[in-house]
């Protein structure tokens, strides 16, 4: 019920509470009841993430607080059940109506891992059907229960608020005070000049920001307004805001997805999820249920999400979340909770203004005192001191700052970048560090296998030929190489189709596509191979496990376990390897030799994968099939650097901007890319791979977050 996810700081712990998901009432109950408990100093619950933060005194431990949270959840559930009993005096029909809402709500809040459920279970949970969908009556009831399926648009700033914002700075306020003082001392011309400067400053800022606001607001009118669903057994087109949970979405190429949904059918379906995950490559979807806990959003291949785009194929999906309960809705809620911070320029202008006030008042006071002591009249010295104070205010400072920022917005607009406020331009100009993803950003994400290492033999792959020691070799004449190629095809999620002419169409990630192309070049019939070894189960790689494995049936009633992944991790779980054509025990010395070869290949800027396999008896039911593997070899893939990246990074460094390259590849591969870009150590290119990030302490991660400006 309650899981501790962070308790490294004494007196402070963060918990994962599944029942909290999307339950605003439970959030309020826990915050109120726990805060009233002696020894609990602070409680903050978040229904969007199911997390709850508790700060407590020394007499409590993290486990004791977890038990306290469980007790409060149990009390909350008892109170909820008692509230349902109040309806016992109603008729059976009224009772059904009264209890439907809590039951459906409980399911929607409690069962959030739709990707782990079978399709039939999801359909049953929403009382819908793949063939007929919802009835019109059920759809209307759901629409009435949960409201329309739209995200509240961000409030646009009114013309008045934009104009008022132009006066919210200390230098402008000083000018206003100076104008008032000038009027008081009968310096009307000075007052008019100062007010003219203030008005010009406000006009420039207002015109620039109002133009950007209108352009950004107009972009919302180009969104899709309707989608196709199945209702009453027919395909109909309805407004997106009328989509409800339980609806069956009809997914077509080129259409935006109207709500979060679990896939029921997928025919060559691919979806662009970059709006949610940042991955620019479309994701190939399937209907199979997934296994495992805490599967990242990007790896939920049987789900589709609101606001993403269908780039290919077609399919059907049952809606599991709408409006603010979608993943896009949760992002919008987080953005809405974010608070704006002062930019460096704003802080500096306010600091200058404060210093001017202090220094000006001090000097004016000194002048006034000296004049009085020397016998001048009080009124005369007061007017002189005030005139001196007005003269000390730099009238041109706000106008120069506003004009410079306005020119920056205009320049960005010419480069097809829209900036809403003047301060944002200044923030962009203050960037000191930029993080760049290697694959697909620095490189072209166009992988190709160029080298294979098996049995102490280096094999170069070029234009479909396998060359070792200057001679072409036939993969079918090399048992270990052929097994490596077969395992690379089987432990692979790329979708492969073959037409009547024998031509292949391949859809998947660049890395896995490269392995398929290697197999095709070797003469392997990929389609027949996969039909021969039927896929039983897939174990995907995860955050702390850089290995993927698949389990397949064989003709002799055994199971083939195909494994690929990080060479170091794969080698550690291998017990045997091929040596001189025979399978022998893999020793620690052999593992060191593999590591040396891996570093050599990675040092050539190659993405390197380790390949292994094992054969199990079909009655072997061990939970972890990735044991006692046989090592097959290394596969090295090249990914060319994008044209212009070298010049772009050089421009960053000339502008004083540091660059950080973040990659899941090994450090030698990343350093080789840096060398190819001719980046010296003085050029401030840092390289963080996934291993480095996993080993960073919370303090180091915080320091990195403080340092990084742009991802």
Active site residues: 437
CA geometry: angle 342, 347, 351, nearest 5 deg: 155
Q: Is the dihedral of CA 514, 520, 522, 528 positive or negative?
A: positive
Strands (E), 499-628: 504-507, 535-539, 547-553, 558-565, 574-579, 582-585, 607-617
- Look at residue 554 and give its three-state secondary structure: coil
What phi and psi, each to the nearest 5 degrees, are found at residue 412?
-65, -35
Specify the long-range contacts of residues 425-430, CB closer than 8 Å, at least 24 apart.
Answer: 426/343, 426/344, 426/345, 426/346, 427/343, 427/344, 430/343, 430/344, 430/345, 430/709
Rounded CA-CA distance 234/250 in Å is: 11
HEC string of 383-419?
A: HHHHHHHHHHCCCHHHHHHHHHHHHHHHHHHHCCCCC
Pull the structure tokens for residue 641. 């650097």
Give the strands of the sheet with 433-437, arranged side by side: 433-437, 658-663, 685-689
- Look at residue 659 and give its three-state secondary structure: strand
Residue with tokens 């596969």: 635
Beta bridge partners of 673: none
Rounded CA-CA distance 57/383 in Å is: 61
- Look at residue 19 and give its three-state secondary structure: helix
Rounded CA-CA distance 462/449 in Å is: 8
Closest by CA to 70, choosing from 18, 21, 24, 113, is 18
Closest by CA to 480, choosing from 628, 580, 407, is 580
Specify the long-range contacts of residues 478-482, CB closer than 8 Å, at least 24 apart.
Answer: 478/454, 479/581, 480/454, 480/455, 480/578, 480/581, 480/632, 480/633, 481/452, 481/454, 481/633, 482/522
Pull the structure tokens for residue 110. 């409690």
Closest by CA to 325, choosing from 89, 600, 24, is 24
In terms of phi and psi (left: phi > 0; alpha: psi -120 to 50; beta: otherwise), the region of 608 is beta
Count of positions (residues) in the chain: 711
How far from 509 is each of 189, 263, 495, 516, CA to CA, in Å? 71, 20, 10, 11
- Cβ neighbours for 316, distance < 8 A, ≥ 6 positions apart: 130, 230, 248, 249, 250, 251, 263, 264, 265
CA geometry: angle 611, 525, 453, nearest 5 deg: 25
Rounded CA-CA distance 370/678 in Å is: 66
Exposure of 139 in the CB half-sphere (CA atoms within 13 A): 21
Pull the structure tokens for residue 63. 């486990």
Rounded CA-CA distance 303/263 in Å is: 6
């Amino acid at each position: 019920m309650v899981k501790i996810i962070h308790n490294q700081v004494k007196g402070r712990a963060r918990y994962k509470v599944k029942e909290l998901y999307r339950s605003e009432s439970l959030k309020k109950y826990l915050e109120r009841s726990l805060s009233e408990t002696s020894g609990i100093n602070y409680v903050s619950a978040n229904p969007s993430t199911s997390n709850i933060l508790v700060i407590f005194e020394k007499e409590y431990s993290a486990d004791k607080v977890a038990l306290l949270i469980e007790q409060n959840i149990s009390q909350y559930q008892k109170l909820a059940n008692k509230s349902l009993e109040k309806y016992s005096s109603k008729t059976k029909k009224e009772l059904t109506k009264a209890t439907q809402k809590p039951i459906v709500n409980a399911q929607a809040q409690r069962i959030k891992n739709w990707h782990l459920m079978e399709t039939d279970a999801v359909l049953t949970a929403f009382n819908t059907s793949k063939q007929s969908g919802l009835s019109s009556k059920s759809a209307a009831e759901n629409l009435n229960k949960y409201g329309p399926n739209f995200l509240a648009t961000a409030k646009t700033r009114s013309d008045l608020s934009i104009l008022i914002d132009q006066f919210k700075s200390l230098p402008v306020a000083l000018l206003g005070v100076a104008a008032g003082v000038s009027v008081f001392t009968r310096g009307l011309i000075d007052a008019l000049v100062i007010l003219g400067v203030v008005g010009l400053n406000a006009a420039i800022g207002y015109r620039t920001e109002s133009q950007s606001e209108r352009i950004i607001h107009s972009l919302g009118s180009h969104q899709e307004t309707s989608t196709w669903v199945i209702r009453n057994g027919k395909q109909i087109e309805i407004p997106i805001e009328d989509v409800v949970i339980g609806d069956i979405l009809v997914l077509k190429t080129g259409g935006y997805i109207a709500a979060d949904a679990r896939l029921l059918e997928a025919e060559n379906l691919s979806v662009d999820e970059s709006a949610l995950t940042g991955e620019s490559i479309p994701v190939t979807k399937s209907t199979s249920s997934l296994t495992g806990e805490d599967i990242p959003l990007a790896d939920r291949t049987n789900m589709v999400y609101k606001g993403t785009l269908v780039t290919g194929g077609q399919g059907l999906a049952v809606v599991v979340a709408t409006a603010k309960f979608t993943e896009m809705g949760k992002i919008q809620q987080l953005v809405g909770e974010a608070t704006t911070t002062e930019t460096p320029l704003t802080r500096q202008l306010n600091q200058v203004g404060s210093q001017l006030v202090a220094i000006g008042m001090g000097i004016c006071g000194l002048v006034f005192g000296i004049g009085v002591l020397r016998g001048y009249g009080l009124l005369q010295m007061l007017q002189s001191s005030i005139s001196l104070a007005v003269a000390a205010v730099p009238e041109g400072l706000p106008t120069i700052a506003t004009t410079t920022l306005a020119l920056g917005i205009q320049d960005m607009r010419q480069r097809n970048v829209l900036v809403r406020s003047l301060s944002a331009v200044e923030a962009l100009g203050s960037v000191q560090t930029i993080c760049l993803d290697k694959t697909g950003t620095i490189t072209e994400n166009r992988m190709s296998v160029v080298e294979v290492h098996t049995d102490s033999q280096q094999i170069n792959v070029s234009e479909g030929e396998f060359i070792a020691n200057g001679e072409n070799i036939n993969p079918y004449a090399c048992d270990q190489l052929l097994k490596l190629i077969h395992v690379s095809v089987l432990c692979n999620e790329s979708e492969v189709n073959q037409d009547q002419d024998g031509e292949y169409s391949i859809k998947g990630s660049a890395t896995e596509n490269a392995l398929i192309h290697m197999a095709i070049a070797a003469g392997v019939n990929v389609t027949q191979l996969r039909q021969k070894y039927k896929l039983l189960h897939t174990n995907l790689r995860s955050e702390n496990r850089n290995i993927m494995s698949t389990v397949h049936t064989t003709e002799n009633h055994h199971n083939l376990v195909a494994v690929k992944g990080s060479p170091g991790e794969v080698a550690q779980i291998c017990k045997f390897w091929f040596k001189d054509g025979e399978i022998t025990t893999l020793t620690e010395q052999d593992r060191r030799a593999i590591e040396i070869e891996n570093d050599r290949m990675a040092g050539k800027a190659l993405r390197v994968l380790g390949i292994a396999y094992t054969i199990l008896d079909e009655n072997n039911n061990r939970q972890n099939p990735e044991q006692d593997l046989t090592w097959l070899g290394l596969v090295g893939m090249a990914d060319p650097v994008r044209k212009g990246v070298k010049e772009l990074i050089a421009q960053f460094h000339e502008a004083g901007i540091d660059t950080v390259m973040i990659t899941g590849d090994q450090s030698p591969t990343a350093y080789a890319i840096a060398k190819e870009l001719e980046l010296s150590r003085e050029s401030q290119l840092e390289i963080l791979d996934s291993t480095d990030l996993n080993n960073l302490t919370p303090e180091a991660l915080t320091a990195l977050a403080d340092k990084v400006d742009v991802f």
